[in-house]
Amino acid sequence: MAKYIIDEAKRCLQCKKPRCKEGCPVRTPINEIIKMFLNGQIKAAGEKLFKNNPLSVVCALVCPHEIQCEGQCILGKKGHPVQFGLIENYISDYYLNLFNPQAKVDPHRKVAIIGSGPAGITIAFILAAKGYAITIFESHDKIGGVLRYGIPEFRLPKSILERIKEKLLASGVKIRPNTLIGTNIAIDDLFRDGYQAVFIGIGVWQPNVLKIKGESLGHVHFAINYLKNPDVYNLGKKVCVIGAGNVAMDVARTALRKGAQEAYILYRKGAGNIAASEHEVEYAKIDGVKFEFFKQPLAILDSGVSYIQTKFIKEEDGTEKLVTIANSEAIFAADSVMLATGQGARGTIASRKKRIVMDKFGLVVTDDSGRTSREGVFASGDIVTGAKTVVEAVKASKKVAQAIDQYIGNI
């Protein structure tokens, strides 16, 4: 593998105007990183990656590279792009072992971080490096948020998150697990206890429902909940996943790894309308996941899913409209049904009663720098944008960390 990575790095053309950098949401200086790597400066390359993106080691594994950096590589126009994800992972993993942060905590500059997902971890690393006294409040027993509880082990090994936790602790960050802010401890309590700023990065964990009959049956499960701990579920031999996003692919692939003999994606549109990335769909097919297109669920039964067939028709203005086909109802037999139709905010922390404005979807409303309607409270990540990629959360959180630093500096 190491030889392959070196050979891949040597393919980089070192473009003067690197399109790959432009395609990266956090503008990773890819050509510079590759040049440093090939010149024997792997530690310096890793440090540069980490300072630009504290979750570089994670993004290297889970980013949709094909539509970001690699998708913009000039070599991809007529052949294969440089696979920077592999190079980045090698460098970042190497650097994480060498990274030895020194805690330099100023107890008079306290920041509370609610949630230890991508946004919270990014904020914690950036502000800890500036000497802030950081406390992370995590409702689960382990850190990671969606990284731990929403991405399968085969895509993101949990050992990486444990290493990240070690580096946070070494940076002087305090972590309070199993602590849900908004119940026994409120945001007002945090300010009372000396925190000068509060960051909300709780993600979106409320599963969306289809609002069809049968969703409460015992063999029906929410995909986002299943991914938290798939070992506690008994799905039977045949699993039907309703939805076609990345979560749906993760669930179907996980089910096959956990003993299901068949896993199907049931989707009301066609293959060209799938929300999941092309690579994730291809991996799902390689793993044995099968697809049932143009089937719209009507109800969930003990024996499976009642559906009606659909099709696209062209309107007079040339646009396509999805319609159902009369008298095409049928039943798709399945032992278990997974609902992977997205998720929204739970709203435990943020509410108008607490002077934090939310939109109609329960997402926190902020300005471009993550400032909420309440002074001293900031937010970013999925709780602001809805479910997005890890690197998008990092991008927003870097800006928010700067805003928090400026805010406390002006108090």
Shared-domain flag, residues 319 and 215: yes
**Of 63, 98, 133, the domain-final residue:** 98
Q: Give the CATH number, domain containing residue 175.
A: 3.50.50.60
- Is the pLDDT reported for residue 362 higher than 60? yes
- Is the pLDDT reported for residue 98 higher than 70? yes
CB-based burial of residue 242 (10 Å sphere; 0-12 exposed, 13-18 middle, 19+ buried)? buried
Residue 261 has a pLDDT of 98
**Of 98, 120, 153, the domain-final residue:** 98
Shared-domain flag, residues 218 and 317: yes
C-alpha to C-alpha distances, 296 to 102, 119, 329, 352, 391, nearest whole angstrom = 55, 35, 9, 37, 33
Shared-domain flag, residues 249 and 214: yes
CB-based burial of residue 309 (10 Å sphere; 0-12 exposed, 13-18 middle, 19+ buried)? middle
What percentage of the chain carries pLDDT values higher than 90? 87
pLDDT grade, residue 349 (50/70/90)? low
Shared-domain flag, residues 330 and 217: yes
Shared-domain flag, residues 336 and 216: yes
Q: Give the CATH number, domain containing residue 60.
A: 1.10.1060.10
Residue 114 has a pLDDT of 97
Q: Tell me the pLDDT tens digit for each residue of 291-326.
A: 999 999 999 999 999 999 999 998 888 889 999 999
Region 344-351: what's the mean pLDDT? 64
Residue 352 has a pLDDT of 44
What percentage of the chain carries pLDDT values higher than 70? 98
Shared-domain flag, residues 241 and 335: yes
State the total domains in the chain: 3
- For the entire predicted model, the pTM comes to 0.92
Region 26-42: what's the mean pLDDT? 97
pLDDT grade, residue 347 (50/70/90)? low
- Is the pLDDT reported for residue 200 higher than 50? yes
Residue 97 has a pLDDT of 95
Region 20-33: what's the mean pLDDT? 97
Shared-domain flag, residues 182 and 211: no
Could you give the CA distance from residue 176 to residue 156 in angstroms, rounded to a whole number?
A: 23
- Is the pLDDT reported for residue 59 higher than 50? yes
Residue 182 has a pLDDT of 86
Residue 3 has a pLDDT of 79
Shared-domain flag, residues 216 and 309: yes
- Is the pLDDT reported for residue 377 higher than 50? yes
Shared-domain flag, residues 182 and 270: no
**Of 78, 98, 118, the domain-final residue:** 98
Shared-domain flag, residues 194 and 283: no
Domain that holds residue 278: 207-342
Shared-domain flag, residues 390 and 325: no
> Are 281 and 274 a contacting pair, CB within 8 Å?
yes
Q: Tell me the pLDDT tens digit for each residue of 256-293.
A: 999 999 999 999 999 999 999 999 999 999 999 999 99
Estimate the crossing angle of helix 158-170 against helix 118-129, to 10 degrees.
Answer: 30
344 three-state secondary structure: strand
Could you give the CA distance from residue 226 to residue 9 in angstroms, rounded to a whole number?
A: 38
Shared-domain flag, residues 216 and 299: yes
